């Protein structure tokens, strides 16, 4: 018998995506057939919606769009494939598979995402099945990397405390596995799994947590380990803050309702900061996550997708309502939150010896892109390291990479390769660049309004001239750029944030905190490079001259009155 989930009455007509999910027979749609269709390199819109749940998006190369239109050709269709890696952990074998697929089927580059996952771009429809099969053979998958479900679970890569990392990573893996969709569609479509459900009879298939409509919108979970807030716990729909006592994990504070996305000019949408509502023991964590998800499943807005994230569900009904609903569903009450302290949200680079006597090397990867350049053969170097590395790789939440668990005897060998391939921890860069992130944007992202990954490095070249002159080269300042207001690089939490408005134009935001617990505020609207530099120069010089001891830039611009502090998304547009 199918377990039916009764949803509370929802106001408004369900969005078209709800229809697509409803008619999809648990995420099948006509995907199997359209993937075989040789006429077009693309797939129809309805199937593309479902494709996301399988971890992939149909895209087209936007650099070629106009020319192809002129030539009356269909767009240069290609697929982006996102591979889940809970907590960003991958073995050397898995790294080599990612590298091989990116070169064999993709555009020859790999992308480490802001949620510690891998992305490959440029895969043609004809190669999709082979790619996903090889990913699965390497014991990784793409299911639920995108779509209206729980996404890749983030966790602090923590090289310092190995026991805490392995415990927290265990919970990230558990969350990832337990919250995965149960449909057999993924196996059927990609892995030639046996067809368990007749397309006309859906009776046997169940989706116990999600139901056949899945969630109203994407859902994100991350676990932070203070003092590092590298996963930006307050940007997560559901965040866990590890609480330790005498180096033992005793449980987690629970933060709810964070999110970054908004739409320009629509004040009913806004980035929001998660709010801490209580504490649970480790053995209660899965129960909490599942019950929170069912609340969002039942009460999230299924009519207007841009208001469907959990943050809006909470802001509409109130935090007290949420806590009561959660306690009722749990059948027990959350304990009071514990004290905790974050002191930064970026990565710490270079070699670190963990308390298991293994070494960890964190290297700066500009905007998460792994590729070979004439003077920097990064992709080849990492491939050679993976061939001999016996530990693991950890993708950091800031698009960087950690070569982890290196034993004393392997360290020398790896150091030799690091030198041979000119791989660095980023020490030649300013602290500003080392704290920078940019989303993908052009040419692959269909939603990009302005460049991000391809532009931020050259903008930083110019800002570096200012900071050098101001004597701020080693001053850590978090700077982030997104090509549109969806905020994939979490710019609303940066000390300096840029959000694309149109080609070459950005809104500039200031005043996020260095620890990621305060939103930024609009400072200048729709400005190009000249005005960005002209705006930043006096601010950075004033900061260099007037900053108090240990004062971060984001705090400074608020103290001296350049922008107001924003502690709730509800005040973001004021």
Q: Which residues are catalytic?
A: 82, 151, 218, 220, 439, 445, 484, 488
Q: Which of 220, 389, 394, 518 binds ligand SRM (CB under 6 A)?
A: 220
Query: What gap in Å lies between CA 485 and CA 494, rounded to an integer?
Result: 14
- From the list ligand SF4, ligand SRM, none, partner contacted by residue 164 (C-beta under 5 to 8 A by kind): none
Residue 439 makes contact with ligand SRM by CB under 6 A? yes
In the window 115-174, what residues touch ligand SRM (CB under 6 A)?
Answer: 115, 117, 119, 151-152
- From the list ligand SF4, ligand SRM, none, partner contacted by residue 483 (C-beta under 5 to 8 A by kind): ligand SF4
Using the minimum distance from each CB to ligand SF4, give the nearer residue, 123 or 448.
448
Dihedral class, residue 544 (left if φ above 0, else alpha if ψ from -120 to 50, else beta):
alpha
Residue 89 exposure: Cα atoms within 13 Å on the Cβ side: 21
In the window 422-461, what residues touch ligand SF4 (CB under 6 A)?
Answer: 439-441, 445, 447-448, 452
For residue 552, give the nearest of 482, 491, 492, 472 by alpha carbon.
472
What secondary structure letter does DSSP report for 184?
S
- Of 97-105, 361-369, 472-480, 485-493, which segment contacts ligand SF4 by CB under 6 A? 485-493
Residue 446 makes contact with ligand SRM by CB under 6 A? yes
Strands 505-510 and 496-502: antiparallel
Binding mask 496-535 for ligand SRM (x = CB under 6 A): ----------------------------------------
Residue 261 makes contact with ligand SRM by CB under 6 A? yes
Query: What gap in Å lies between CA 351 and CA 402, rounded to an integer?
Result: 9
Neighbours of 244 (CB within 10 A): 18
Q: b/e string for 548-559 if b means 16 or more Cβ within 10 A?
A: eeeebbbbbbbe
For residue 52, give the nearest of 137, 128, 146, 124 by alpha carbon.
146
Rounded to the nearest whole angstrom, what is the least distance from the CB of residue 440 to ligand SRM in the complex?
A: 4
Following DSSP, what letter does each residue of 32-50 receive, concatenated?
HHHHH-SS-SS--HHHHHH
Q: Is the dihedral of CA 425, 168, 165, 54 positive or negative?
A: negative
Contact between 377 and 422 (Cβ < 8 Å): yes
Query: What gap in Å lies between CA 375 and CA 381, rounded to an integer?
Result: 12
What secondary structure letter does DSSP report for 282?
G
For residue 227, give the nearest of 347, 337, 344, 395 by alpha carbon.
344
Using the minimum distance from each CB to ligand SF4, give the nearer residue, 114 or 244.
114
Query: What gap in Å lies between CA 414 and CA 412, rounded to an integer?
Result: 5
Query: What gap in Å lies between CA 239 and CA 196, rounded to an integer?
Result: 35
Rounded to the nearest whole angstrom, what is the least distance from the CB of residue 277 to ligand SRM in the complex?
A: 18
Q: Which of 233, 260, 293, 322 binds ligand SRM (CB under 6 A)?
A: 260
In the window 358-387, what residues touch ligand SRM (CB under 6 A)?
Answer: 368
- From the list ligand SRM, ligand SF4, none, partner contacted by residue 368 (C-beta under 5 to 8 A by kind): ligand SRM
Angle at Cα 34 formed by Cα 30 and Cα 38, nearest 5°?
Answer: 165
Residue 483 makes contact with ligand SF4 by CB under 6 A? yes
- For the chain, first and last CA: distance in Å? 51
Q: Which of 165, 490, 501, 521 binds ligand SRM (CB under 6 A)?
A: 490
- From the list ligand SF4, ligand SRM, none, partner contacted by residue 151 (C-beta under 5 to 8 A by kind): ligand SRM
Binding mask 18-47 for ligand SRM (x = CB under 6 A): ------------------------------
- From the list ligand SRM, ligand SF4, none, partner contacted by residue 260 (C-beta under 5 to 8 A by kind): ligand SRM
Residue 486 makes contact with ligand SRM by CB under 6 A? yes
Nearest to ligand SRM by Cβ — which residue?
261
Residue 80, both tokens:
């982006």
Residues near ligand SRM (CB under 6 A), total: 29
- Of 184-192, 280-288, 423-431, 480-488, which segment contacts ligand SF4 by CB under 6 A? 480-488
Query: What gap in Å lies between CA 452 and CA 536, rounded to an integer?
Result: 18
Where along the sequence are the contacts to ligand SRM (CB under 6 A)?
A: 57, 59, 80, 82, 113-115, 117, 119, 151-152, 218, 220, 235, 259-261, 309, 368, 439-440, 444-447, 486-488, 490
Where along the sequence are the contacts to ligand SF4 (CB under 6 A)?
A: 439-441, 445, 447-448, 452, 482-484, 486-488
């Amino acid at each position: 018998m199918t377990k039916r989930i009764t949803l509370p009455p929802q106001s408004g007509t369900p969005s078209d995506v709800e229809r697509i999910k409803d008619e999809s027979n648990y995420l099948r749609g006509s995907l199997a057939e359209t993937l075989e269709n040789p006429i077009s390199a693309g797939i129809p819109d309805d199937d593309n919606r479902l494709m996301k749940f399988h971890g992939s998006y149909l895209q087209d190369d936007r650099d070629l769009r106009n020319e192809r239109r002129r030539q009356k050709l269909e767009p240069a269709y290609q697929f982006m494939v996102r591979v889940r890696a809970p907590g960003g952990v991958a073995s050397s074998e898995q790294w080599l598979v990612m590298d091989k697929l990116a070169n064999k089927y993709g555009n020859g580059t790999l992308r480490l995402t802001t949620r510690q996952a891998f992305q490959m771009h440029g895969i043609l429809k004809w190669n999709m099945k082979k790619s996903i099969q090889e990913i699965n053979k390497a014991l990784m998958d793409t299911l639920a990397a995108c779509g209206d479900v729980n996404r890749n679970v983030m966790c602090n890569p923590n090289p310092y405390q190995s026991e805490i990392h392995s415990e927290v990573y265990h919970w990230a893996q558990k969350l990832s596995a337990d919250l995965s969709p149960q449909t057999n569609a993924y196996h059927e479509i990609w892995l030639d799994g046996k067809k368990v459900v007749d397309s006309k009879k859906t009776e046997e298939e169940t989706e116990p947590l999600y139901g056949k409509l899945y969630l109203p919108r994407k859902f994100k979970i991350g676990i932070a380990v203070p003092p590092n807030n590298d996963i930006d716990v307050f940007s997560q729909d559901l965040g866990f803050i590890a609480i330790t006592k005498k180096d033992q994990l005793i449980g987690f504070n629970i933060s709810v309702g964070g999110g970054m996305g908004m739409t320009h000019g629509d004040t009913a949408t806004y980035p929001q900061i998660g709010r801490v509502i209580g504490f649970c023991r480790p053995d209660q964590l899965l129960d909490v996550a599942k019950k929170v998800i069912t609340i969002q499943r039942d009460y999230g807005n299924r009519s207007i997708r841009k208001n469907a994230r959990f943050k809006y569900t909470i802001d509409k009904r109130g935090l007290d309502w949420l806590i009561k609903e959660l306690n009722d569903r749990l059948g027990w009450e959350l304990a009071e939150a514990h004290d905790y302290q974050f002191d930064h949200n970026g990565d710490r680079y270079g070699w670190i010896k963990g308390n298991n006597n293994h070494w960890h090397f964190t290297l700066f990867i500009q905007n998460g892109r792994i590729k070979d350049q004439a003077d920097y053969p990064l992709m080849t170097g990492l491939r050679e390291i993976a061939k001999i590395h016996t530990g693991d790789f950890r993708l950091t939440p800031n698009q960087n990479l950690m070569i982890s668990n290196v034993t004393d005897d392997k360290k020398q060998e790896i150091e030799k390769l690091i030198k041979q391939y000119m791989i660095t921890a980023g020490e030649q860069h300013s602290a500003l660049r080392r704290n920078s992130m940019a989303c993908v944007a052009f040419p692959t992202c269909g939603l990009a309004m302005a460049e991000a990954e391809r532009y931020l490095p050259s903008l930083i070249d110019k800002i570096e001239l200012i900071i050098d002159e101001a004597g701020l080269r080693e001053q850590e300042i978090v700077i982030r750029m997104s090509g549109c207001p969806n905020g994939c690089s979490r710019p609303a939490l940066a000390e300096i944030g840029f959000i694309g408005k149109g080609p070459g134009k950005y809104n500039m935001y200031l005043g996020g905190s260095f620890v990621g617990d305060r939103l930024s505020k609009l400072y200048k609207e729709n400005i190009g490079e000249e005005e960005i530099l002209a705006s930043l120069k006096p601010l950075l010089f004033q900061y260099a001259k007037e900053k108090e001891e240990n004062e971060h830039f984001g705090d400074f611009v608020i103290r001296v009155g350049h922008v107001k502090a924003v502690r709730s998304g509800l005040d973001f547009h004021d």
